[in-house]
Amino acid sequence: MSKTNKSQTMSRLHSAARLSRTALAARLLAHGFYAGQDQIMLTLNGQDGQTPGQLAARLGVRPPTITKTINRLQTQGFLEKKASESDARQAHIFLTETGRDTIRAIEKSVRKTEKQALKGFDKKDQKALSKLLSRIEANLSNSELEEFDEDSELED
């Protein structure tokens, strides 16, 4: 694959991710959520009572970012903080009843956005795309970043 095609692929991947996030953000805003808040809510729905550090690690964001978002969600009445029983310095984050009630709305917004994004794709194409995106995620989440010298770049 030529360098031009590779950069076009990355550009399209970036554009598709940005557009899907924008479409989802518009749907979520109708339920009072801002970008990123849905991910915290869905993560807690899967495993309630995580610490801010655990949430940050799971979502791949910095702890100050997660703390700010948690505080906003708490102010909105979706989350509550409780001190750890074993370590009073540590807080655990839990969904409130209001937070639990909104999970369905978040999931519905995600489904509608996915349906919009995959319009015209048959099941086989959807499955192939999912596999390819999983491979890209695995490649990019590799903890050891590959370093390329000028020789390897010339070989492409």
pLDDT attached to residue 16: 94
Structure confidence at residue 150 (pLDDT): 40
DSSP string of 49-97, one letter each residue = SB-HHHHHHHHT--HHHHHHHHHHHHHTTSEEEEE-SS-TT-EEEEE-H
Q: So what's the architecture of 12-141 in CATH?
A: Orthogonal Bundle (1.10)
Cβ neighbours, 10 Å, residue 42: 14
pLDDT tier for residue 129 given thresholds of 50, 70 and 90:
very high
Tell me the whole-structure pTM to 2 decimals: 0.76
Q: What is the pLDDT of residues 55-86, one digit of tens each?
A: 999 998 998 889 999 999 999 999 999 998 88
Is the four-CA dihedral 127, 103, 23, 13 of positive or negative sign? Answer: negative
